[in-house]
Chain A
Amino acid sequence: MKRMTLFCGHYGSGKTNLAVNYALYLRRKNLPVSLADIDIVNPYFRSKDSKDLLEKEGVKVIALPFANSSVDLPALPSETYALVEDKSRYAVLDIGGDDRGAYALGRFVPYILEENDYDMFYVVNFYRPLTTTVDEAIEVMREIEGACGLKFTGIINNSNLGQETTVEKIQATYERAQKLSETTFLPLVYTAAEESIATEDMVPLKLQRRPFEI
């Protein structure tokens, strides 16, 4: 378990849900955790949506006051630097989608490399239209690495079809996830699934709630 864990990937691959769940997992181990929402691309569906829950569980949430306020401002809070400088806490970073989201990470990369105690996970959902094949998934992966200047250390298979997800649908992506891992020489860290359907070989996720059912 590294001090810093970064979740990156294609838009809508599930980075935020994974980051929030991982931060809560660390808290359950009684570790001091900060979670930073450094998505400068998307003004909706952010880890700040779970701020109340996270803070109740003792996770320090670093997010712009503007996040989710409808102010569409691509900026980062100054306290984001505490993530790299305060080495007494575990840090979970929720990065914006694609290469465009990963650019925001660049300024922290020299610190991350110097400390060299990080994991950067590539979150992939093979049911997303621009990452349905192994080749497409690799293309997005390389674009992200190029944009932020940091190499991935592992892969998380978060393949899902939203509310139509089934165990079979997830299992149908195992082969592609394995191939992605072999082709990139990166370990497949785990496969994630929403907790009500997760089988024993999957990491169960509690998903951020929709504001209302539609």
Chain B
Amino acid sequence: MPEKVLMKGNEAIAEAALRAGCRHYFGYPITPQTELTAYMAKKLPKMEGGVFLQAESEISAINMVYGVAGTGKRVMTSSSSPGISLKQEGISYIAGADLPAVIVNVQRGGPGLGGIQPSQSDYFQATKGGGHGDYHLIVLTPSSVQEMADLTSLAFDLADKYRCPAMLLADGTMGQMMEPVALPEEKESGIEKPWAVTGTQMKREHNIINSLYLSPEVLEKTNFERFERYAEIEKNEVRYESYMMDDADYALVAFGIAARVAKNAITAMRKEGLKVGLIRPITIWPFPKKAIREAADKVKGFVSVELSMGQMIEDVKLAEECLRPVVLCNRAGGMIPSVDQIIKVTKELAEGGKN
């Protein structure tokens, strides 16, 4: 095992991206993810083939990502909530052109300019579209600085494998907190990209990167084919952590920082004899529907713990098919649910007080 280092979550993402072979980064600074941009600015210019560019805007940065993605090189951009909104058009184009790219959102409170404290209120944006048209992103949600590194690495692999953009959806706490990390090993993509625009050398037909299909028949066919790939992703790439679910009477569902608070609440509640477990989605698209549905056969109810006004709760409800009550335990605007709040909401559910 490599020697651990002490890193901020934002730095861990940057270093993991470099070790995954990413040599192209385009971004624009915004709190609370700026350390990621700063790290790339420091390291990439010294690396062979490394390009760091602080674009004049987020819109510009995402279109640079679109360009590099078309050449098959590993490429990344990062921002925080308002900046990710600006990137949505470009993300839709990247998805529409079937290109791999990694987009990082270290979320802050919103809507609008909001604040600079942590949030999970871009869940809908990340999982339900964000940009226009029928498309999905693979969305990974880290819950520790170690996972900031590991899931960044995974995001590049999945993006390449399925030719679609992948998003790392973190929050301000994850970006700012420092924890020891064992960094992933250096690696290459290892995936052939015969579609990439790399120059024909007069030896093959031109590759064309495009998302414009004026024939509705062809556009429809392209959409259906893309959704076959999405079905493969839903079949193969669902990731979640099941924590103390074996004997649980109630299930908390939480990701990111909320999952860490939830674990502390579970420890406290189990001391009092209330058997509570946690399902922690690591991918929120694809969402761990099966795990939630299976849990619904065993538990008496679900608590969705979120740093938003309640977004993931809709997916929890869809997945458990109205079998059990699902209640929300939330804070918003940069606030974080406390252990006490989670205990209170779970106990109310256990006492049958709310649905």
Contact = CB atoms under 8 A, between A and B. Distances in A.
Contacts of B32: 43-44
Interface string A22-56: 00000000000000000000011100000000000
A128 B117 contact: no
A164 B180 CA distance: 7
A160 B5 contact: no
Nearest to A100: B38
A130 B39 CA distance: 9
B176 A44 contact: yes
Contacts of B180: 127, 161-164
Interface string A107-128: 0000000000000000001011
A162 B179 CA distance: 6
What 5 A-B pairs have minimum CB-CB distances, sorted nearest first? A214-B260, A127-B6, A161-B180, A164-B180, A129-B5
Interface of B: 4-8, 11, 15, 31-32, 35, 38-39, 42, 115-117, 173, 176-180, 183, 257, 260-261, 264, 334, 336, 338-339
B35 A129 contact: no
B264 A214 contact: yes
Interface-central residue, A129, A160, A213, by most chain B CB under 10 Å? A129
A129 B116 contact: no
A12 B8 contact: yes
Contacts of A162: 6, 178-180
A83 to B, nearest CB: 27
B179 A129 contact: no
B15 A11 contact: no
B5 A128 contact: yes
B269 to A, nearest CB: 16
Contact of A129 (B11, B115, B334): B11
Contacts of B39: 130
Contacts of B8: 11-12
Nearest to A161: B180
B117 A70 contact: yes
A160 B7 CA distance: 11
Interface of A: 11-12, 43-45, 70, 72, 100, 125, 127-130, 132, 160-164, 212-214
A160 B39 CA distance: 20
Contacts of B15: 129
Contact of B178 (A12, A70, A72): A12
B4 A127 contact: yes
A12 B179 CA distance: 11
Contacts of A45: 176
Contacts of B173: 214
B264 A213 contact: yes
Chief secondary structure at chain B's binding surface: mixed
Nearest to A71: B116
Interface-central residue, B31, B38, B173, B178, by most chain A CB under 10 Å? B178
Contacts of A125: 6
Chief secondary structure at chain A's binding surface: loop
Nearest to A140: B42
B117 A127 contact: no
Contacts of B38: 100
A127 B182 CA distance: 11
A214 B258 CA distance: 9
A129 B31 contact: no
Contacts of B6: 12, 125, 127-128, 160-162
A70 B261 contact: no
Nearest to A212: B338
Contacts of B264: 213-214
B290 to A, nearest CB: 28
A214 B31 contact: no
A103 to B, nearest CB: 14
A73 B174 CA distance: 22
Contact of A43 (B31, B179, B260, B336): B31
B115 A70 contact: yes
Given A11-B35, A70-B117, A70-B334, A128 B7 contact: yes
A45 B32 CA distance: 12
B189 to A, nearest CB: 23
A106 B332 CA distance: 40
A75 to B, nearest CB: 15
Contacts of B35: 11
A43 B8 CA distance: 14
A162 B181 CA distance: 10
B30 to A, nearest CB: 9
Given A12-B6, A127-B6, A164-B4, A72 B116 contact: yes
B49 to A, nearest CB: 21
Contacts of B117: 70
A214 B31 CA distance: 22
